[in-house]
Structure 1
Amino acid sequence: MTAPIRDAVRPFTSASLTAMLPSPLRLLGLGEPTHGVEAFPELRNELFRYLVEHEGYRSIALESDCLMGLVADAYVGDGTGTLDEALRRGFSHGHGAYAANRELLRWMRAHNERCAPDGRLRFYGMDGPLETAYAASPREALSELYDYLAAHIRMPRSRADLDELLGPDEPWTDTAVMMDPSTSIGRTPAARELRLLTDDLRGLLAAHAPLLIASTSRDDWWRADLHGRTATGLLRYHDAMADTSPARISTLLSVRATMMADNLDAIVRREERRGPTLVFAHNSHLQRDRSGMGWADGHVEWWGAGAVTSVHLGDRYAFVTTNFGTRGSDVPAPDSLEGMLSELPHERGIVDPRRLTEVLDRKPERRVPADYTYASLDPSATDRMDAVVFVREV
């Protein structure tokens, strides 16, 4: 099997990868099979530098809290704060501890120091301020939106009304809610009223956009819109946390994916006149296929952000999956696709999925993950990927 597969694989370079992708793109999704393996964010950094220098890319979005991402963007944009502060306060999920993310911010800041303002690189978080088992209080997002509006237009409700509806943050952020939906406040009368109020505030933001942008700036309006989107998503997520039906977990995953897709849509629209965007996240968030994972004693499925985004962008969205062969004692079985690719001489290779489909004379077995965070290559889905970057050993 190795000989025919060899015809579908070439050594990895950023130039070879981009030559394989459709053009023109607005959004390039680069997925990683698991978190915490530095080889993949390091490869991301290498690719992003090439995209900036040769393909006109001006922004990157990571699987991290979209509101915290504003802190990282302020650092790379104009040097606000220090690098250590940007890593500590600008990333969620512990991703600020990754050496590759430190190098990414350092390089972006250095680039912005020597380029004209219109060539400035932007950093985005594309995730909501949540995890599957946790969601932030909507206070920060709603307060930012309210204060932005109140500085320029007459408001239908007072700030005191908003604070009363929000109440203390502790019930919103109680992680015990994941195991006991009855303790969630996501479907209380106050939470339902907050959802209506948020909708009203976002309506005001849209209706008064000409005045607000003229009084502040497009960037300030975009930031307010980001807080509005985030408040809407958080309230929807807390509502789903109170669900007691069997669909609860898949609903939570779908709400999170929709928040990601909404953020990506807003980023693409904002960056349309500047250049394409690279987004880096787990493969399950960026793939075109329906995502799935084991949960408790069952299996849950949902449409990820990449699947939703690809419907909107069509061939202006490309998905590149990354994967690996050996990781310590975790060695792929010879009859898995990862095992076959591991026999090739390239330390890092680019697989042409269409050519791979043509040369395979039998369907490989799907690799059995050594840990639950790893997403193995699905041999039946390679034709829905634009390229596969395979790292032989991590």
Structure 2
Amino acid sequence: MATDIKDSTHPVEAAAVMSLLPGRPRILALGEPTHREDALLDLRNELFRQLVEQEGYRSISIESDCMMGLLVDDYVTSGTGTLDDVMEHGFSHEWGAQAGNRELVRWMRAYNDVRPASEHLRFAGIDGPLEFWAASPRQALTALHGYLAAQVETDLLPCTAETLDRLLGSDDRWSNPATVMDPSQSIGRSTEAGQLRILADDLIALLDAQTPHLIAATSRHDWERARLYGRTATGLLGYHYWMADTSPARVTRMCGQRDSMMAANLLAVTEWGPALVHAHNSHLQRDKSSMRMGELPLEWWSAGAIVNSYLGEDYAFVATALGTIRHQGVDVPPADTLEGLLYALPEDRFVVDVPRLAAALGDARPAHRMSPWFGYASLDPAHLSEIDGLVFIKDVLQS
């Protein structure tokens, strides 16, 4: 069997990945099974550079706050700010402290610096301003209102900036981490939050209705950002609404809301041209995402599944699997697991042709590896049929 499996492997390079696909997809998604490992970011950077230079991809997105990511996009396209400032303030989840992300931003700026604006590479964060708790919708709502107020007649606006400020109140009420475990701490179903949801919908409706005027009066770039403000505001308000829920559906709806926001941001970046994205496997997979809360199993549709429903063959998903992360207690995988079979091959890293791998395995489905560390999610062999390609790294070493 090992010989047959070996026949399904290729070097980790753009040409090998593209050979697995029927054509160049509008979104090529590279997943990772764990975060904060520089070896995975270095591989991503190498592969994405090749895909940009050889296949014409026009944007790179990562699993980071979409509003903060605007600072990164400004820097890589126009040199606004400094690299240090952008790395400190342009990323959520402390991603800016990682050397691989710094190198990605530095390279994108250097790439754009010698090219005309029409050929610039764009950057986007696809996550909302949230993890399990959510930020205040103030920034997104006031930015959307400010954009419209500067361009349309005052009597067309559904409210004043002062009304928004009054309804929003203190940002501390929105960003309270206690709401994660205690829905009674959330203000997501308060009278003020309900009014804000209506106003956000009205502002987005006005943005849509005034599209020809707004693009002509400002620019498509500014109008696209206003749409991002609108998506973020409604997404956050919806997330806060479900944080205040007391039913068994609460966490499922919160997780689904986050992935839905990611999907909307991913679909938006395709308007810039072919797009590359890097995030956790669980967000990019075509299958449902799942987790357990105590004895309660939770399932929701991932961002990848949603985007795939819209794009079909124009969405491609390449997962990443790995053998060991010894500094996190993840040792050599059992031989009967998918990772164990791949670990037995001699190369340190390679791309796997998944259909050929499945043919080599035949009716023998590998066992699902159990992770000894919560921060690493092994690949479910049942998902192989929904993966376009697989990158395997034998050993992830501590930086």
Calculate the TM-score normalised by the size of structure 1.
0.97
Where 1:375 maps in the other structure, the secondary structure is coil
Find the counterpart in structure 1 of residue 32 from structure 2. Answer: 32
Where 1:130 maps in the other structure, the secondary structure is coil
One-letter code of the match for 2:27? L
Partner Cα distance (1:327, 1:186) in 2: 40
- The number of aligned residues is 389
Cα offset, 1:176, TM superposition: 0.4
Does structure 2 conserve the Cα–Cα contact (< 8 Å) formed by 1:11 and 1:346?
no
Find the counterpart in structure 2 of residue 248 from structure 1. Answer: 250
Find the counterpart in structure 1 of residue 260 from structure 2. Answer: 258
Where 1:131 maps in the other structure, the secondary structure is coil
How do 1:77-96 and structure 2 match up within 5 A? Answer: 77-96=77-96
One-letter code of the match for 1:34? T
Does structure 1 conserve the Cα–Cα contact (< 8 Å) formed by 2:128 and 2:232?
yes
Partner Cα distance (2:75, 2:8) in 1: 41
Cα offset, 1:157, TM superposition: 1.5
Cα offset, 1:212, TM superposition: 1.1
Find the counterpart in structure 2 of residue 148 from structure 1. Answer: 147
Find the counterpart in structure 2 of residue 364 from structure 1. Answer: 366
Does structure 2 conserve the Cα–Cα contact (< 8 Å) formed by 1:136 and 1:234?
yes
Of 315, 319, 323, the match for 1:317: 315
Q: Which runs of 4+ in 1 moved over 4 A?
A: none
Cα offset, 1:160, TM superposition: 1.1
Unpaired runs of 5+ residues, structure 1, are none
Partner Cα distance (1:285, 1:317) in 2: 13
How do 1:244-323 and structure 2 match up within 5 A? Answer: 244-268=246-270, 270-271=271-272, 275-323=273-321
Query: Does 2:7 align with 1:7?
Result: yes
Instruction: Answer with 353-362 or 113-122: which moved more.
Output: 353-362
Does structure 1 conserve the Cα–Cα contact (< 8 Å) formed by 2:284 and 2:302?
yes
Partner Cα distance (1:159, 1:209) in 2: 21
Cα offset, 1:152, TM superposition: 1.4
Instruction: Answer with 63-72 or 151-160: which moved more.
Output: 151-160
Where 2:370 maps in the other structure, the secondary structure is coil
Find the counterpart in structure 1 of residue 68 from structure 2. Answer: 68
Cα offset, 1:258, TM superposition: 0.4
Instruction: Give the % identical residues.
Output: 53
Cα offset, 1:10, TM superposition: 2.4
Q: Deviation per CA, 1:102-142, whole angstroms, max 9, x where unpaired?
A: 0000000011110111001100000000002x100000000
How do 1:194-233 and structure 2 match up within 5 A? Answer: 194-233=196-235
Does structure 2 conserve the Cα–Cα contact (< 8 Å) formed by 1:64 and 1:125?
yes
Partner Cα distance (1:96, 1:252) in 2: 25
Partner Cα distance (2:33, 2:370) in 1: 13
Does structure 1 conserve the Cα–Cα contact (< 8 Å) formed by 2:59 and 2:124?
yes
Cα offset, 1:13, TM superposition: 2.1
Partner Cα distance (1:156, 1:108) in 2: 40
Does structure 2 conserve the Cα–Cα contact (< 8 Å) formed by 1:265 and 1:309?
yes
Cα offset, 1:311, TM superposition: 0.2
Q: Deviation per CA, 1:23-65, whole angstroms, max 9, x where unpaired?
A: 1310001000010111111111111111111101110010000
Does structure 1 conserve the Cα–Cα contact (< 8 Å) formed by 2:26 and 2:315?
yes
CA RMSD of aligned residues (A): 1.0
One-letter code of the match for 1:53? E
Where 2:245 maps in the other structure, the secondary structure is coil
One-letter code of the match for 2:335? P
One-letter code of the match for 1:65? D
Find the counterpart in structure 2 of residue 333 from structure 1. Answer: 334
Unpaired runs of 5+ residues, structure 2, are none
Query: Does 2:107 align with 1:107?
Result: yes
Calculate the TM-score normalised by the size of structure 2.
0.96
Does structure 2 conserve the Cα–Cα contact (< 8 Å) formed by 1:22 and 1:316?
no
Partner Cα distance (1:4, 1:241) in 2: 49
Partner Cα distance (2:183, 2:290) in 1: 22
Partner Cα distance (2:158, 2:389) in 1: 51
Query: Does 2:137 align with 1:138?
Result: yes
Instruction: Answer with 87-96 or 18-27: which moved more.
Output: 18-27
Does structure 2 conserve the Cα–Cα contact (< 8 Å) formed by 1:28 and 1:317?
yes
Partner Cα distance (1:370, 1:38) in 2: 20
Where 1:147 maps in the other structure, the secondary structure is helix
Does structure 1 conserve the Cα–Cα contact (< 8 Å) formed by 2:18 and 2:24?
no
Does structure 2 conserve the Cα–Cα contact (< 8 Å) formed by 1:14 and 1:46?
no
